[in-house]
Chains A and B, each alone.
Chain A
């Protein structure tokens, strides 16, 4: 199975972690910078997203066009994203282009031009992304669920708000970059076909003189009421239900996560069977586990015709409550089969692994190999999952709906 994980902490505090996958033709990298949206100033939500957008508009000795075009010429499949905790710059390409690609992308992190003459273009890009979500009702409802599920600012949408984006100046962006783009807490993760010695020398050289100041953790405040309805004249009512769970680093994580896998995953899972297969109530219904460093949650989604939305919500919440009664052995066996196959297939994707080992390092300060994960999954027993569910039944629901009419809160939900 997977080979040993390599890792090294540079003097500046930056961590390089790498997983060799020599059977692949590709290599992928993920650079996590501790500049997530939770660190945006209170009055400027969206500043991290805007800063990320601006960082690509020229860096090091390349202008905006040269920057994009050099990466394109290296065949790099790029991706940037901002979560509550991080801004992430990632890419995948054929193995021989890994180091040149990493050098160019690191310029966006270390030496972005943040050009004032492109501020309005960048602003428009961020505003366009916000407008696009308005035409995606499922995204809208899940965004609102997350906002109410975690204490502020951890659930705040990373894309920000229109009014704040309109206020942001080039000084705000330069200030955000200076304050948050720093080696302490930064992680460079690489997976695929590479030479470890060449990689560590390159990374050490690139990030050599990066300076760091301490950044305080944001203060937390109440996220607002757990029940909300967003009125909108849509064909379907969007339903989002969430409840707290343990974070990834918690000793109960695999039990909590296993229970979610019984709820949702394959087509024989409980939600798909009860909501879609037996009753034909919807096209999509799903539950997924989500984690921050110190908190986790389970988020469920369904969208259905307005006249059947109440029944869908009732059946969905009923299934969440029934989970407290425990799971069956056959459900655990299917879950294990699915996960075992997913772990093996992760070895066929350098980008999937580079993202996974970067997140592992952030949450655990180390990386779980696929072998170790496989062992944990094998060892899971029905009894321990059921003990966990008995002690921590799904409760404290947050429910957000979007559609023409609000729904009744199902019985047993306070």
Chain B
């Protein structure tokens, strides 16, 4: 396992975790742009643009792009988050250059008007699809409550209205502004030929012109709150709670990961025994999300509507108990065992490593091996976790309920 890096003159960065033993490789362009970089009139634009990237370039039609990926037998896709848009493919080593060439080419898209109109229909269908699945987008609503007008409260998908109002001109402007080479990292993991990768990147991406781009990170002020959204068509009630947590650049994030494992892992955690094992909730979990400048804990519970008020109370009691009495040595050891095993399992596939290596690089400009992560987890003590818990209490939260209940009165 060897880490390599290189920067093109125009600022585009190339990093790779090279493992000559791997059977495949994964490669992705990580573009530092997402919902948090959108002006209000651009809501949903980053995600829409991600779809449009597959619609062709001056030298390729949309059908060519799909065909060429399929001819390599690539496993490929793209996703958009609050702060990144990622285009990736997993291929056999013999297709490395072809895959990078194709991914690189689609990042300079034609953005044709008629493709834009057709794809807008697909995005609107995607939004409609989530409308019929009540838990979806509840996280975005809760995040908007917690962060208020801060850009991290922006919705990735946008709304039917905001997407309908988007124009292809606005998209072209956004693309010019946000897809400059200084905001893009080419990341590869697995059986990578790094020298060939750099050479190809030079010829495919070397001519891309720098743009103003960038991002001003403003610290988000979290606002506690409570809202109940009435969705009569839903069967279950969904409860979301979000609280501030360590940010991407904060080394406390490892302790935060262990805390969420103790509190809300999907097996054997405090919430599992309190809510899931007795059948009081269908699902209960806590996760940590980290962004530049800000992080959040998200607690998610789904249950029968008649159990919602009591479950909210039980959740409150569980959090209060954790904050008052802390954690045990057994809980810490258990959380370390779980997290370490998952780090090893997910690190076995180049596809799994791609997102870890890419996120470490784009968020922190650092490389961490599987060993580094295991060591960081192993070194944590109960005091470390308690210090993070004191700094970022779970109970200082915004709560959103969505489901058949017209009203839900929070206890306490």
A residues near B (Cβ < 8 Å) are: 23-26, 64-65, 68-69, 72-78, 92-94, 97, 120-125, 127-129, 131-132, 134-137, 233-236, 265-269, 272-273, 276-284, 303-305, 333-334, 336-342, 344-345, 347-350
A280 and B71 contacting across the interface, CB-CB below 8 Å: no
A residues less than 8 Å from B132 (CB atoms): 137, 234-236, 303
B residues near A (Cβ < 8 Å) are: 21-24, 54, 62-63, 66-67, 69-75, 90-92, 118-126, 128-129, 131-135, 233-236, 265, 267-268, 273, 276-283, 302-304, 333-334, 337-338, 340-342, 344-345, 348-351
Query: What's the Cα separation between A26 and B333 when bound, in Å?
Result: 20
B residues less than 8 Å from A131 (CB atoms): 235-236, 282, 304
A68 and B268 contacting across the interface, CB-CB below 8 Å: yes
| CB-CB nearest 3 A-B residue pairs | A124-B279, A75-B341, A341-B73
A121 and B23 contacting across the interface, CB-CB below 8 Å: no
A267 and B70 contacting across the interface, CB-CB below 8 Å: yes
A residues less than 8 Å from B121 (CB atoms): 280-281
B134 contacts which of A120, A135, A268 (Cβ < 8 Å)?
A135
A344 and B337 contacting across the interface, CB-CB below 8 Å: no
A348 and B267 contacting across the interface, CB-CB below 8 Å: no
B70 and A266 contacting across the interface, CB-CB below 8 Å: yes
A284 and B63 contacting across the interface, CB-CB below 8 Å: no
State the Cβ distance, B112 to closest chain A Cβ, in Å: 13
Query: What's the Cα separation between A333 and B63 when bound, in Å?
Result: 16
B66 and A266 contacting across the interface, CB-CB below 8 Å: yes
A residues less than 8 Å from B70 (CB atoms): 265-269, 334, 337-338
A-B contact pairs, 29 of them (CB 8 A): A26-B344, A65-B273, A72-B268, A77-B345, A125-B276, A125-B282, A128-B281, A128-B282, A128-B303, A134-B236, A135-B236, A234-B233, A235-B131, A267-B69, A268-B70, A269-B70, A280-B118, A280-B120, A283-B125, A337-B71, A337-B72, A338-B73, A340-B73, A340-B92, A341-B24, A341-B90, A341-B91, A344-B23, A345-B90
Most buried by A among B63, B75, B133: B133
B73 and A68 contacting across the interface, CB-CB below 8 Å: no
A77 and B341 contacting across the interface, CB-CB below 8 Å: yes
**Minimal Cβ-Cβ distance residue in B for A266:** B70
Query: What's the Cα separation between A213 and B119 when bound, in Å?
Result: 58
A26 and B279 contacting across the interface, CB-CB below 8 Å: no
Query: What's the Cα separation between A265 and B304 when bound, in Å?
Result: 37
Query: What's the Cα separation between A123 and B54 when bound, in Å?
Result: 47
State the Cβ distance, A64 to closest chain B Cβ, in Å: 7
B23 contacts which of A136, A268, A279, A347 (Cβ < 8 Å)?
A347
A266 and B69 contacting across the interface, CB-CB below 8 Å: yes
B residues less than 8 Å from A135 (CB atoms): 133-135, 234-236
A residues less than 8 Å from B334 (CB atoms): 69, 72-73
Query: What's the Cα separation between A186 and B71 when bound, in Å?
Result: 40
Most buried by B among A23, A26, A135, A339: A135
A267 contacts which of B66, B119, B124, B134 (Cβ < 8 Å)?
B66
A residues less than 8 Å from B124 (CB atoms): 305
B residues less than 8 Å from A74 (CB atoms): 337, 341
B348 and A25 contacting across the interface, CB-CB below 8 Å: yes
Query: What's the Cα separation between A224 and B73 when bound, in Å?
Result: 40
B349 and A125 contacting across the interface, CB-CB below 8 Å: no
State the Cβ distance, B318 to closest chain A Cβ, in Å: 16
Query: What's the Cα separation between A175 and B395 when bound, in Å?
Result: 46
**Minimal Cβ-Cβ distance residue in A for B126:** A283
Query: What's the Cα separation between A73 and B71 when bound, in Å?
Result: 43
State the Cβ distance, B180 to closest chain A Cβ, in Å: 27
**Minimal Cβ-Cβ distance residue in B for A265:** B70
A236 and B22 contacting across the interface, CB-CB below 8 Å: no
A residues less than 8 Å from B277 (CB atoms): 64, 121, 125
Beyond A236-B131, A282-B125, 10 additional pairs, beta carbon < 8 A: A72-B337, A74-B337, A125-B279, A131-B304, A137-B133, A268-B66, A273-B66, A283-B129, A304-B125, A333-B71
B72 and A341 contacting across the interface, CB-CB below 8 Å: yes
**Minimal Cβ-Cβ distance residue in B for A21:** B348
B residues less than 8 Å from A125 (CB atoms): 276-277, 279, 282
Query: What's the Cα separation between A132 and B277 when bound, in Å?
Result: 16
Query: What's the Cα separation between A347 and B351 when bound, in Å?
Result: 13
B residues less than 8 Å from A136 (CB atoms): 133
Q: A72-B337, A74-B337, A75-B337 are in contact. Are A349 and B268 (CB under 8 A)?
A: no
Query: What's the Cα separation between A131 and B341 when bound, in Å?
Result: 32
B residues less than 8 Å from A348 (CB atoms): 22-24, 348-350
B residues less than 8 Å from A122 (CB atoms): 279
A residues less than 8 Å from B280 (CB atoms): 124
A residues less than 8 Å from B333 (CB atoms): 73
State the Cβ distance, A141 to closest chain B Cβ, in Å: 11
B348 and A349 contacting across the interface, CB-CB below 8 Å: yes
State the Cβ distance, B274 to closest chain A Cβ, in Å: 12
A92 and B73 contacting across the interface, CB-CB below 8 Å: no
Query: What's the Cα separation between A240 and B110 when bound, in Å?
Result: 35
B235 and A134 contacting across the interface, CB-CB below 8 Å: yes
**Minimal Cβ-Cβ distance residue in B for A345:** B24
**Minimal Cβ-Cβ distance residue in B for A136:** B133
State the Cβ distance, A226 to closest chain B Cβ, in Å: 25
Most buried by A among B126, B267, B303: B267
B73 and A337 contacting across the interface, CB-CB below 8 Å: yes
State the Cβ distance, B145 to closest chain A Cβ, in Å: 22
B residues less than 8 Å from A337 (CB atoms): 70-73
**Minimal Cβ-Cβ distance residue in A for B51:** A283
A341 contacts which of B92, B303, B342 (Cβ < 8 Å)?
B92
A residues less than 8 Å from B72 (CB atoms): 337, 341
Query: What's the Cα separation between A338 and B241 when bound, in Å?
Result: 42
B337 and A73 contacting across the interface, CB-CB below 8 Å: yes
A267 and B125 contacting across the interface, CB-CB below 8 Å: no
